[in-house]
Structure formats: C-alpha cells, structure tokens
C-alpha cells in the first residue's frame, strides 16, 4: 500500500471548521453572555454523538438487510449496539455539565435564541426513525414545533428515513424467520403452556396459603395473578394476540415475540448466546434513551422552572410525556413477563439441542 | 492523649458480623441460587448508605435546630449535603450492578422471599421522614405494604421521626428568619415587581412580533405568558399565595419562598454564597432521589416485566408513581420560575450591599 | 414447593447485625468525630463487594475446573465476569464519596485507629490470590504490614487460597487445551508468520519513505520496528519464548498465548465469540483493578499528603507502586501486540471454518 | 430590546459545518473502515470540550488579573472551576466509548493516519499552558513530536500562551497578597509551630509505646516521623524553603503556601469559605487531569499493545510518564502534609475572627 501524503491531527479532524463554529448570539447584540458558549458546545457534542449513533445504526441496518444474517456478523451487530449504549451513557452523564449552568446564567442569552429549540434536531429524529418511530407515533404538538421548521431538504431526509425499513422492523423479520415456533415432532409451545400452568398454580398456592398477607393484599394479588394468566394465554393465542397488537399493547408480531421468548429461555446455547446479547443490547438502548429523556426533562425543569423554552415549547411537562412514549423496543424490555423459572422450562430433545450447539467441545479434548 | 489498645482492620469494621450476614433462602430449600447472594449484598450496601445519609441528615438537623445558625456552620451543612448527593450518585449508578441479574436468574429464588420487599426498608422511610415526608403524603397502598409489616419498635421509631421537625421545616424557619422581605426604607419587592413587569412586557413583544411563529404557536405562547404573569402575581400576594399553598402547589411559606428568591438573585454576595450553595445542594438531593426512583422503577420493570414483586406489590407502575410524589424540595427545584435576568434585577442600595459583603477585600490590599 | 415461613426484608438482610456494626473509636475516647462513620461504612461496603466478587470468582473457578468447559457454560462465565467489572466500576466511582472527607476531618480520628490499615483486608488478598497473585509476587513490606497481623485462622484461609488453582492457571489450561496451534494439514502459524513479515515490511516502507518524519524520529521508529519484529519472533519460537517467560515478561505459556491470539484474530466465528468475550472481560477486570489502585493511591495522597497512613504505611508512594505490579491478566491486556490487520489475516480452510461455525444459519431459512 | 431575526437550531449550532467535518482517510483509499468515524468523532468532542475549558480558564484569568479580586467574583471563579471538573469527568468517562474499538478495528485504518497524533492537539497544550505548564517543563521528545509539526501561526499562539501569566501564577499572587502571615500583635506562625511540635510529640509517643508494632515497623515509622518534622521545619524557614523550591519539590512561594495552609485550617470562616472551595477545585482539576492521563495511557496500551502510535510515538510508556509530571497544582493537592488536627489548631484572637466573619448573623435575628 502506498500512503500518498502525511496526515496531521488538526487537518484530519478539520479543527478549523469545528472550533470556529461557535458564534454566540448574545455577542451580536453587544451583550456577550459567558455561558452561551457552553450551551452551544454541549449541543454540538450531542449532535456529533448522534451522528456516530446514526453511523452505527446504518451499518446494523445494512447487515440485517441481508437475506440472512451470517453468524459471523452477529457479534459485529452486538459490538456496535454496545457501542451505542456506551455513547448513550455519556449522553446521560454529560447532562451534569449542562446543570452547572444556572437559571440566571441562562437568562442572560435565552431571549436571543427564539425560536431555536432542541426539538429541531434533525439527527435526533433520524435516530428515532431509524430505530422505528413512525410519524403516526408523534404527537400533534411535536409536529408543530418540529416539522414546520425544517428546510425542504431536511424534511425530505426525514421522510425518507421514516419510510425506510427500521431496525425494529428488521428485528421483527429476523425473529420471525427463526424456526422456534415450529419444530418437527416437538410441540414446544404446548410444553411451555403446561409449564406456565404449573407455575401459576404454584403462585396461586403461595398467595392463598400465605398467612402473612392481609385479606386486602391477598385479594389484590389474586387479581394480579388472573391478569398474569390472561397475559400468557394471549401470547399463545393468535387471535387474542392480534387484538392486543391492534390496541397497541405490543408492537412485535406474535411469531417474533415467541422467538424472542425462546431465545431468552435458552440463551446459554451457543447458537443463542449472541442473539440473546443482541436482544439485551436493544433493551439497553431503549432503557438508556428513556433515562436520557427523563434526566433531560428534569434538567430543563431545574433551569427553566415552569417557564416556556426557547423554542416556544411548554417545556418539561411535554418532555416528561415523551419519556414513556417513543420506546421502540419496549416489547423486548418487557419480555420478563413471559419467562418461567429455569427449573420449569421444558427440556429440549437432543436433536434440537444439537442444532443449538457447536462442535466446539472438540476444541477442548 | 493515651491510646489504650491497638485497633485492627477486621475487628474495627466488625467484619465477622458484616460478612456472615448473607444467608440465601434458596439454600435453605436445597436449591441454592447463585444470584441470591448479589440480591442480598446489594441491598445491604443500600442500607449501609442509607445509614450514612441518616447520619449526615441528623447532624444537619442538629445544627439547624440552633436558635440561629452560626455562619461558620454553613459550610459544614453544605459539605454534608454534598456528601449526601455524592452517595446518591452511587445509589443510582449501582443499579447497573443489579441489572446484571436477569429475569431467569431472579426467578430461581424469588418465590422463597415472599413477602419481603424493598418497601419494607425502615431506613429509607426514615430518610424520607427526616427530609420532610409526612404520613399524610403517603398513598394508602404504600401504608398497607409497608407499615403493616413493621415491628412495634420500628413503627415507634418511624412515628417519632415523622413527628420530629424535618429538614424541610428547619429550612423554612431558617429562610423565614432572614430579613430580605423587609428592608428599612427600601421596597425591594416593589422594585422586583416593576422588573418582572418589564420582563413580561418584553416577552410579550417578542412573541407578538416574532414572524417565525405560526398563529397556533403564538396563541399558545401568549396563553403561557398570561399564566407566568399570574404566577408572579401569586408569589407577591399573601392571599393568593395562601390559596396556592392550600392547594398543594407550593410547600414553603411565602416568606421563606421570597427569601429563597432573594438568595438566588444575589447569590454572589459573600453573605449569600453559602446559603445559595445550600439551596442548590437541597435541589440536588431532590433531583437525585427523583432520578433514583425512576431508574429503580425501570430496573424493576426490566427484571419483573409486568409481574408482581416479592412483597406482593404490583411493581413498577407503583414505583413510577412515586417518582414525582415525595419530592420534598420541589419548591427550591422550581425556583427558576421566579427569577429574572441579571440585567433587570434591582440594584441594591449601598447600605444593604455592605451588609451582604465582608471586609475580606482588605486581605488583598 | 412448600414455602414454610414468610420472609421479611429486615430479617432477610440481617439488618440488625449490619446496621449495628459501626462503633467509632473516637466516641470511645469521648471525642466523637463526625466523619468516622463514613470511614467505617465505606470500608464495609467495599468488603461487601469484595465478598460478592469472591462469590463470582469461586463459581467461575468451579466451572473451569470441569474436565472440559461445556459450551453452554461459557456465557455464564462471561456474564459473571461482566458482573465483576460492573462492581469494580462502582469501587472506583465511590472513591468520590471518600474524597468528601477532608484531611482535617480525617485527622480528628486517625490517631485512634493505629495500626488498622486497608492493607489488612483479608478479602482483598483473597481476591488477588483467586485471580492469580502468588506470595512470591508480593513485596517484603507488604508482607510485614499485612500477614504479620492476620489471625492464625485468616492466615490459613489465605494460604489455602494461594495454594489453590487460580483463575489465571485455569485460563492457561483452558487455552492450552484448544487445538489452534496444531491443525491437520494446515500450518496456521506458518501462514501467520508470513503475514507478520508482510505487515512489518509495509511498516518499514511507510517509515522510510515518510517525508514528514524528522531524522531523529525516523531513526527511533525504525528501532521500534526492530523491537516489534523481535517480539513476533519470540512469540513463535519456543526457546525464545521460554526465556521471556523466565524473565517475567509474560506469564502465560506459549501454547496458551497462541490460542489467545487465534481467538482475537477470529473472534467473529460463533465458536470463538464467547471465548473472545471472556478474554476481553478478563482484560477489563485487570484494567479496572489497575484503575482502582491508581485512584485509591491518589485519594490517599490527597487526604494524607506525604504523611504516614493509619497502619504505619508510608502511604501513597507504596500504593502507586502496586498499580503496575499485581496485574494478573496483563498478557491478555497486551495481546494487541501480536495482532495483525484483518486484511492480512490468513484465510482459514473451509473445514476449519466449519468447525468454528454453527448450523445456526438454518434457523433463518 | 429588539430581536432582529429568528434563530434556528441547526444554523445556530452551525451543524452543516460540524456534521460535515468527518472525512475518513480509509475511504479515500477505497478501504472504508467502519470505526474510523468513531475515531474522528470522539477526538472532535474532546477538542470541543478543550475549547470550553479554555473559555472558562480565560474568564478566570480575566477576573484574577484585576488589581484585587472582588469578593462577589469568588463564587464565579469557583463555579467555573467546578464546571471544568465536571467536563473533565466526562473526558475520563468517555474513554469507555473509545475502548469499544478493538485493536483489529483500529488496525484497519491506522496506517492511513501517519503521522497524526493526539500529541499534536494545540488546544490541549494551550490548556496546560494556561494552567501553568511552561516549555521548560516539557520533555525533549514531547517537543520533537509536537512543536515541530505546528504551523507557524499555531506555534505563535502557543508561545504567546506560554508567555502569558498563568492561572498558577495568578493564584500565587492572589495567595501572596493575603495578610495571613503577618497579623498585628499576633504571631500566628509561632503558635502554629508550637502546635506542630505538640502533635509530633504525641505521634512519637504513640509510635514508641505501641506494642502492636514490630521493631522493624517502629523503626521505619520513627524515621518517617523525623522526615515529617523536617518538612514542617522547612515550611516555616525561608532559607530552607527556598532550597526546596530550587530543587523543584514545591512550586508555590513560601508566602503563598502559608496562606493556603491558613485557608485550609480556618476554611469555615465566611471570608475563607469560597477561597477554600477554590483551592479545592484547583486540586480537583489537577486530580482529574492526572486520572485522565492515566486512563488514557492504559487505553492506548490496550488498543496498541507495545506497538508505536500513529504519530510515531512509542505510546503508552511515554503517556504514563506524563501522568505524574505536568501536575500544576500539586502543591495544593499535597497541602494535607501541613495540616494539624482541629483540636490543636491555634485559637484566633477575636479581632481577627471578626475580620473573617460577616455581619450575616443579623439576618437571622
């Protein structure tokens, strides 16, 4: 390989561009506010990290678009998801830097910024769209504050991303493709159903005979148990599940959900170790964005009080409301609902175990 | 001083007690579950940290109970509050350790723990009570699951703490004692009121003339502005403020709230530097407990799904509901609501400035 | 299953023991020092976490003692190592809590603690011994301050742990057992050697023709390159490697080291995904203990200055000296030394690839 | 105030510039390496944060350049230092993101980057220079790799910064200006000297009579005590201190050092609360850069092994060597050396106490 020319740090990182991109508005009005630089720079670091997250998600999408995902790519997918969550952790942690800016500090320049607002971050919307948030998931007010202010070009970029197949949809396809709902000569979900019944019966006994519970609590717990029973029944009944999905209680198809349950139950088999890691990483991505939204809302409340934000948004109340909406992988996050104790998990026939294993043991002869 | 006997690490820390206090229930049933040890130990570290927080809060209460708080004690109070928040940060961060326990791991021993539950932590209730949560702030269900399971002795301890004067009440007294609402010959709050009007008028202009706002948004923002106006009016009107307080919209008395506003506005004067730090630390205590509650609820959801907890509690939904209740220092947290830009803040007369300053400058002759 | 009796939070966690194990020495002399409680409690949490780490390591040792490690146990090993590193992260982070104690605060009780010292932590020594530190790795002074103060029973416990087979030794055995140095009809290490030569030749060209380097730097880099060449040669030469090992430059046997290199190079094959994760987690364990030792030394310096510690130790200088010694998995940490770019890595024959793969792809038909 | 034109998020943050500043070299050679984007982006975030740190330090320098520092500016200085340390914490924490890039990932593009190197970061050198690192503190090799590659303009910028008065020098002046070494009619340092003797005599007794110490350890501790005695003697003797300074054992002048000791001993007096906070924040700045250097060196070792870096530097060994050099505020960090227990600290005369206090108590009448 022939390296044509030397590369220097400053040019390579394009620092003249990066470090000359801070132009505080307050200075333009002759009222330079010290903290406006922090406000600009912290948002720029957020945007750089969003770009990196988009880079990782795009490459994951690329891999998952293949007719089938090569087994050697699974660890690549997971490594990149783990990178995304490590970035998200910094997104959360660096809110502490923003909190060193007090209300009075912020008030010195906020009037100059109208109507700029974090809601206008195109990249954050692209991250959401790439993960799987569709326009119909957004609130009307969100669209007002956001989409109405995009340039035509940006609007087109976003719409394209929203139309494109998302990581969520690719996950669903990948999970649906797995043959765990349908083994030759082994009725796995029948066995699972029997195990669930056994578990629920045991739970019922524990609650009924537990002398330490007050009548009120016992009654409540038995009611909970009935609901749990119904939940399991729904998972296994195509018709009920479809209703659930129509009501927005789950997002994944039944087939995909069943595969996910299977992976969680038999995660230690070599063939499922990496798929389990991937599902877990996706749940972590979901958890970290949820945490970020929450911490962000709290920070805004602390700096703005009950006042309106720079973008004319009513601030932290709205932000808090998005904490629980926009959870793309909530189904994975909630998967615990469908798990049963290891001791009750159906024993797989040898020919299935063999499929899930590798010849790896020969390595240790 | 005569030191009587040598002290050794293990005895000093009473390690034989500490390290022999883990007796997994699962082992008693002959079904030792590997992860139960983690479950026990992480809760024990939480309890140790709660003890440390109680130790700090008790000492702060002690200082604030003095007829007046010596100026040399203010930095002590703040240093201890900062210690509390550094502990809280670890309480939040170590949730990640708990999350290394998966649902299946937990299921191997959860049935053995009925009806133990984190809700039964006496110390956590004592922390809340010492800060300022009163029995009437608690939900009925919380009492069911909690108080009904305390020993008579623990119940008495908790009731005593709830009757005792709380940090919140001592803060209110301390703030009320400050003479900032009532200067000889200087109508501070009159001046403040003029400044607020000026600020709101400017805001009105910005919104009205801002061509970049859609009609819908402009209308909404003007409505917000009216509400902000009303908020300021309420702060300064004893009657309106009393109504607000009766409705639970604020907890502090009007006099205490005004002092807090004054401290925030003039925080750079030496006499107010430490009081400002203290108020900020209290807001931080509030924020960190709120974050901890949220992260805790999310973690429980991830491990339990929508199932019930070991204490018979319906789990994360309830936990999430406590995130926003039980915010003792929310008034301080929301103080931003009443602040105005530095450029509009009333200039204090020299004789008041002098009172807020120290002769420190002579040190730098 | 029949649950015999209800379990309550406080009893289950043995809180009466845990929360009554703080007896400040200063109070016994009538000079109660506020911060001594923190000093006790933070050390107790450290000891609790050490117990948890020992619990995880013991279980890993148990699994690795099996004649061969079942493939389904590999993810268990890795999950537990990841738990250990998540605990270590907290061990590092909570040093910040300790740093809220200033020198003056500490001076109020340190004289009462002579000669207690963190060096006397039996559990920390057990962690080190379990990982693989042998008595001969310890400095004389360390033994003076430490072993001389153990009870006979504790001494026996430690000696037993030091004699027992360590995680390091088990890792070596596990790696040595792998057949990657010895494929039928495929001279892998010959191919690797060719690839290394190609890489080094390319490096030589880059350095020689790089006009941007000063003569001094070019000379230095070429010298570095010679050393790198020698390093690779040593890896592949049994005799040279043995010398290296004798000099303490590496700890792993040559066979184990070669397996580790192979795993790193072909980490994406299903059979090697989990082994790679495990090696990475061990490097992480090493890194985190190194970081903890460093942060701990720095914290001691900040609180004690250049004074002697409570155990009569000369403090932070000694502590810093342990940062780089006692690195059990340094070989894994340094493995980068032996890697070559993917593009130059030898292509494996199909029959070997097949062995490293799973039939997983059929799942995605 | 008249706001002339609306401000939008993307333009305000100059995102077209920021987000189009990533041009991987590997792509230019037709060998696009996925991880090069991360490598670029993480360095860009570091540079943005360095810019923010420089912004804070410049403003602190501005304030401290005043003939005397107004008391109302002290909390501003401290708040900005606390912001710097909160940024430094993120600089340390985000190393974890870099560590998601493995050696093999890095090898796919490192050859394209020769001879770019983090050593060429102008801003990092400016941070060091602004804090107080002078050219004579740098190693020869550092200059080779660094200065030789700067543009003429950058070189001039750096030289100007190195000639400019540093935060360290301003701190020294500020401390020297304080009148704590020279009270009318009160020989403070005489009293301090008496207290030190008393403390050392007590230490001597404890060590001599401590039956739990082995002869070897006792001997060593008595030798340590002699050294401690000498250390205190040096602090108070202008001649000895000057020798110390000439040997590079301390950097601060004796007068400045004595003021710092006084502030640490009487930190709770209102006039000293903020100066104490400032000194502590500077020690924290020092600690966090030290930790960052250490973690950075370890990370480089993990990714590069013992190979050379992209800039032709011999990597982590050099990096580790900078961990302990370049500690600007080490004197403050080591101040613990000169402290004595509160109970032995000289009681100040009332007229001095009054100077250190404020009339604040009247606020609580």
Give the model's pLDDT for residue D224. 86
CATH code at position D1: 1.20.58.480
Question: In terms of domains, do B235 and B360 share one?
Answer: yes
Residue B169 lies in a domain: no
Q: Which of A329-333, C133-137, C318-322 reaches the highest mean pLDDT?
A: A329-333
Give me the number of domains chain B comprises. Answer: 2
What is the chain A residue with the closest CA to D101?
A83
For residues D287-300, average pLDDT: 94
Q: Answer whether residue C317 shows pLDDT above 80.
A: no
Using a CB–CB cutoff of 8 Å, tell me whether A38 touches chain D: yes
C38 to chain B, minimum CA–CA distance in Å? Answer: 6
What phi and psi, each to the nearest 5 degrees, are found at residue D116?
-60, 145
Question: In terms of domains, do D149 and D210 share one?
Answer: no
Give the model's pLDDT for residue B73. 95
Question: In terms of domains, do B202 and B113 share one?
Answer: no
Give the model's pLDDT for residue D2. 59
Which is higher by pLDDT, A258 or A117? A258
Q: Mention every residue, 6+ apart, whose C-beta is less than 8 A from residue D18.
A: A17, A18, A21, A44, A47, A48
Q: Which of D120, D151, D116, D93 is nearest to D39 (CA)?
A: D116
How does pLDDT run across B142-162, given as a tens digit for each residue? 676 666 677 889 999 999 999
Q: How confident is the model at residue C203 (pLDDT cuts 50, 70, 90)?
A: confident
Contacts of A70 in chain C (CB under 8 A): 361
Using a CB–CB cutoff of 8 Å, tell me whether C160 touches chain D: no
Give the model's pLDDT for residue B310. 44
For residues B67-83, average pLDDT: 94
**Dist. CA D257–CA B103, nearest whole Å:** 57
Handedness of CA C95, C101, C104, C109 (dihedral sign): negative
Give the model's pLDDT for residue A144. 66
How does pLDDT run across B303-324, given as a tens digit for each residue? 987 664 444 445 566 677 777 7
Using a CB–CB cutoff of 8 Å, tell me whether D14 touches chain A: yes
Using a CB–CB cutoff of 8 Å, tell me whether A68 touches chain C: yes
How does pLDDT run across D100-130, given as a tens digit for each residue? 999 999 999 988 887 777 778 999 999 999 9
**Residue D190 neighbours by CB distance under 10 Å:** 11
Which is higher by pLDDT, C141 or A287? A287
Q: Answer whether residue B1 shows pLDDT above 60.
A: no
Question: In terms of domains, do D350 and D305 share one?
Answer: no
Which is higher by pLDDT, D285 or C322? D285
Q: Which of D108, D206, D302 sits opposite C342 (nearest CB)?
A: D108
* Cβ–Cβ below 8 Å for B97 and C117: no
Q: Which of B52, B97, B154 sits opposite C86 (nearest CB)?
A: B97
Residue D170 lies in a domain: no
Give the model's pLDDT for residue A312. 46
Of the candidate ranges A349-353, C190-194, C217-221, the one whose mean pLDDT is the lowest: C217-221
Question: In terms of domains, do C325 and C351 share one?
Answer: no
Question: In terms of domains, do A244 and A201 share one?
Answer: yes
Contacts of C113 in chain D (CB under 8 A): none
Residue B5 lies in a domain: no
**Dist. CA B18–CA C17, nearest whole Å:** 7
Residue C16 lies in a domain: no
Contacts of C308 in chain D (CB under 8 A): 221, 224-225, 228
D70 to chain B, minimum CA–CA distance in Å? Answer: 7
B5 to chain A, minimum CA–CA distance in Å? Answer: 46
CB burial readout C36-64, b (16+ within 10 A) else e: bbbbbbbbbbbbbbbbbbbbbbeebbeeb
**Dist. CA B70–CA D356, nearest whole Å:** 13
Burial group, residue B20, by CB count within 10 angstroms (0-12, 13-18, 19+): exposed
What is the chain A residue with the closest CA to B296?
A291
Contacts of B76 in chain D (CB under 8 A): 268
Give the model's pLDDT for residue C365. 41
Give the model's pLDDT for residue A4. 64
Contacts of C341 in chain D (CB under 8 A): 104, 107-108
Give the model's pLDDT for residue C2. 59
Give the model's pLDDT for residue A141. 66
Question: In terms of domains, do A159 and A290 share one?
Answer: yes
How does pLDDT run across D190-238, given as a tens digit for each residue? 999 999 999 999 889 888 887 777 788 788 888 888 999 999 999 999 9
Q: Answer whether residue B99 shows pLDDT above 70.
A: yes
Residue A281 lies in a domain: yes
* Cβ–Cβ below 8 Å for A120 and D8: yes
Domain hosting residue D7, numbered range: 1-164+270-326
Question: If you average pLDDT over every residue of chain D, what do you get?
Answer: 89
* Cβ–Cβ below 8 Å for B206 and D3: yes
What is the chain D residue with the closest CA to B205?
D2
Give the model's pLDDT for residue A359. 54
* Cβ–Cβ below 8 Å for A265 and B217: no
Residue C321 lies in a domain: yes
* Cβ–Cβ below 8 Å for A115 and D34: no
**Distance set, CA C146 to CA C114, C127, C311 (Å):** 14, 15, 9
Question: In terms of domains, do B48 and B152 share one?
Answer: yes
**Distance set, CA D3 to CA B208, B212, B214, B226, D12 (Å):** 12, 12, 17, 21, 15
**Dist. CA A133–CA A293, nearest whole Å:** 15
B325 to chain A, minimum CA–CA distance in Å? Answer: 14
Question: If you average pLDDT over every residue of chain B, what do you get?
Answer: 89
* Cβ–Cβ below 8 Å for A8 and D122: no
How does pLDDT run across C225-252, given as a tens digit for each residue? 899 999 999 999 999 999 999 999 999 9
Tokens of C199: 């890489």
Residue C6 lies in a domain: no
Residue B250 lies in a domain: yes
Identify whether the C-beta of residue D148 lies closer than 8 Å to the C-beta of residue D138: no
For residues B271-286, average pLDDT: 95
Tokens of D12: 């305000």
Question: In terms of domains, do C320 and C339 share one?
Answer: no
Tokens of B286: 């509030």
What is the chain D residue with the closest CA to B179?
D363
Alpha helices in chain B (DSSP H): 9-12, 15-18, 25-28, 36-64, 71-93, 95-98, 103-107, 122-131, 140-146, 152-163, 167-177, 188-209, 215-236, 238-246, 254-265, 270-304, 316-324, 330-333, 350-356
Cα radius of gyration (chain A):
25
**Dist. CA A188–CA A348, nearest whole Å:** 8
**Dist. CA D174–CA D253, nearest whole Å:** 12
**Dist. CA A356–CA C270, nearest whole Å:** 11
Tokens of B209: 């003339």
Q: Answer whether residue D331 shows pLDDT above 70.
A: yes
B203 to chain C, minimum CA–CA distance in Å? Answer: 43
How does pLDDT run across A24-78, given as a tens digit for each residue? 999 999 999 999 999 999 999 999 999 999 999 999 999 999 988 888 999 999 9
Handedness of CA A342, A346, A347, A350 (dihedral sign): negative
Does the interface predicted TM-score (ipTM) exceed 0.95?
Answer: no
How does pLDDT run across A137-164, given as a tens digit for each residue? 777 766 766 666 778 899 999 999 999 9
* Cβ–Cβ below 8 Å for C89 and B96: yes
How does pLDDT run across D333-357, given as a tens digit for each residue? 889 999 999 889 999 999 888 888 8
Using a CB–CB cutoff of 8 Å, tell me whether D334 touches chain C: yes
Question: In terms of domains, do A226 and A130 share one?
Answer: no
Using a CB–CB cutoff of 8 Å, tell me whether A179 touches chain C: yes
* Cβ–Cβ below 8 Å for B115 and C6: yes
**Dist. CA B141–CA C41, nearest whole Å:** 33
**Distance set, CA D11 to CA A32, A122, A310, C283 (Å):** 19, 12, 15, 44
What phi and psi, each to the nearest 5 degrees, are found at residue D353?
-55, -45
* Cβ–Cβ below 8 Å for A274 and C276: no
Give the model's pLDDT for residue D178. 87
Using a CB–CB cutoff of 8 Å, tell me whether D43 touches chain A: yes
Q: How confident is the model at residue D309 (pLDDT cuts 50, 70, 90)?
A: very low
For residues C331-352, average pLDDT: 91
Q: Mention every residue, 6+ apart, whose C-beta is less than 8 A from residue B62.
A: none
What DSSP state is assigned to residue C258? H
Question: If you average pLDDT over every residue of chain C, what do you get?
Answer: 89
Contacts of A76 in chain C (CB under 8 A): 268
D156 to chain B, minimum CA–CA distance in Å? Answer: 34
Identify whether the C-beta of residue B47 lies closer than 8 Å to the C-beta of residue C15: yes
How does pLDDT run across D34-74, given as a tens digit for each residue? 999 999 999 999 999 999 999 999 999 999 999 888 889 99
For residues D249-278, average pLDDT: 95
Using a CB–CB cutoff of 8 Å, tell me whether D79 touches chain B: no
Which is higher by pLDDT, C44 or C143? C44
How does pLDDT run across C101-145, given as a tens digit for each residue? 999 999 999 888 877 777 789 999 999 999 999 888 777 766 766
For residues A353-363, average pLDDT: 67
Q: How confident is the model at residue A362 (pLDDT cuts 50, 70, 90)?
A: very low
Question: In terms of domains, do A287 and A200 share one?
Answer: no
**Dist. CA A294–CA A314, nearest whole Å:** 16
Q: Answer whether residue A195 shows pLDDT above 60.
A: yes
C285 to chain B, minimum CA–CA distance in Å? Answer: 15
Tokens 């090697």: give the residue: C272
Give the model's pLDDT for residue C17. 97
Question: In terms of domains, do D364 and D240 share one?
Answer: yes
Identify whether the C-beta of residue A130 lies closer than 8 Å to the C-beta of residue A54: yes
**Dist. CA A254–CA A233, nearest whole Å:** 12
* Cβ–Cβ below 8 Å for B8 and C48: no
What percent of chain D is predicted at pLDDT more than 90? 64
What DSSP state is assigned to residue C65? T
Q: How confident is the model at residue D4 (pLDDT cuts 50, 70, 90)?
A: low
D2 to chain B, minimum CA–CA distance in Å? Answer: 8
DSSP character string of C167-231? HHHHHHHHHHHS-TT-BTTB-HHHHHHHHHHHHHHHHHHHHHH-TTS-HHHHHHHHHHHHHHHHH
What DSSP state is assigned to residue D346? P
């Amino acid at each position: 390989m022939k390296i044509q020319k030397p590369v220097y740090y400053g040019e390579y990182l394009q620092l003249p561009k990066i470090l000359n991109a801070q132009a505080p508005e307050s200075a333009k009005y002759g009222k330079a506010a010290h903290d406006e630089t922090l406000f600009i720079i912290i948002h720029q670091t957020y945007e750089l990290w969003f770009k990196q997250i988009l880079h990782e998600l795009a490459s994951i999408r690329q891999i998952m678009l293949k007719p089938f995902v090569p087994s050697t790519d699974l660890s690549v997918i997971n490594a990149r998801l783990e990178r995304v969550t490590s970035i998200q952790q910094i997104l959360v942690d660096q809110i502490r830097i923003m909190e060193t800016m007090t209300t009075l500090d912020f008030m010195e320049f906020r009037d100059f910024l109208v109507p700029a607002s974090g809601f206008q971050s195109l990249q954050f919307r692209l991250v959401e769209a790439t993960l799987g948030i569709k326009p119909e998931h957004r609130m009307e007010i969100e669209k007002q504050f956001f989409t109405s202010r995009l340039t035509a070009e940006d609007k087109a970029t976003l719409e394209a991303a929203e139309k494109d197949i998302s990581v969520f949809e690719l996950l669903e396809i990948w999970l649906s493709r797995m043959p765990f709902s349908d083994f030759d000569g082994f009725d796995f979900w029948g066995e699972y159903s029997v195990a669930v019944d056994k578990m629920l019966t045991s739970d019922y006994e524990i609650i009924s005979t537990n002398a330490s519970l007050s009548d009120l609590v016992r009654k409540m717990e038995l009611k909970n148990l009935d609901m749990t029973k119904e939940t399991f029944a729904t998972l296994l009944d195509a018709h009920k599940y479809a209703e659930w999905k129509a009501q927005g209680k789950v997002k994944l198809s039944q087939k995909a959900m069943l595969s996910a349950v299977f992976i969680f139950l038999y995660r230690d088999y070599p063939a499922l170790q990496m798929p389990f890691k991937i599902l877990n990483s996706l749940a972590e991505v979901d958890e970290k964005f949820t945490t970020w939204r929450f911490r962000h809302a709290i920070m805004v409340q602390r700096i703005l009080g009950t006042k309106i934000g720079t973008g004319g948004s009513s601030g932290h109340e709205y932000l808090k409301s998005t904490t629980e909406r926009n959870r793309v992988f909530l189904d994975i996050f909630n998967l615990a609902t469908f798990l049963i104790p290891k001791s009750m998990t159906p024993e797989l026939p040898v020919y299935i175990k063999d499929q899930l294993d590798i010849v790896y043991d020969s390595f240790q002869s």
